Amino acid sequence: MVRLNPYLNFKGEAREALEFYRSALGGEVEIMTYGSMPGMSDDPAEQDLVMHGQLETEHGLVLMAADTPSSMPDATPTTGVTVALTGSEADLDYVRTAVTALSAGATDVLPFEKAPWGDHFGQLTDRYGVPWMFDVGPA
């Protein structure tokens, strides 16, 4: 099965961000550090940074993240990329709970509420600068 998953890049905040997303979405976080993979970074200050992290939820959501090391160009969240969490009416409570949790420290918040086209819709930029969009419509 082919899957498309968001992969977010951070500057030293990937572990913290993944734990924040786990608290909002549920699931389990797995982390590999630069120090656990020989040759990935020779900088002693970067050994505990996240080379690859993954959050996988019981709902089948997968969100990946890493810290960009000093040897690579900065690839932190950018304009034009949005993480979308969508579902059907059966998912409304889960998405509403996630929106509430992700709203802590968020900016540019468009409240998650019934939209003119009938879906529940909302948007925000989380505390890490990652834009999110939420949409729950009929099955």
Both tokens assigned to 46: 């970067």
**High-pLDDT (> 90) share of the chain, %:** 78
Q: Which residues of 104-122 are buried (b: 16+ CB within 10 A; e: fewer)?
A: eebeeeeebeeeeeeebbb
* pLDDT of res. 76: 67
- This prediction's pTM: 0.91
What's the pLDDT tens digit per position in 23-71? 999 999 999 999 998 887 878 888 999 999 999 999 999 999 999 988 8
For residues 126 and 132, the answer to whether their CB atoms sit within 8 Å is yes
Q: Name the band, by pLDDT with cuts 50, 70 and 90, for residue 97.
A: very high
Taking the CA atoms of residue 131, residue 63, residue 102 and residue 32 in that order, the dihedral angle to the nearest 10 degrees is: -110
Q: Per-residue pLDDT tens for 69-91?
A: 888 877 766 667 899 999 999 99
* Pair 31, 55: CB distance under 8 Å: no
pLDDT, position 58: 94
pLDDT averaged over every residue in the chain: 93
Q: How much is the average pLDDT of 103-112?
A: 97
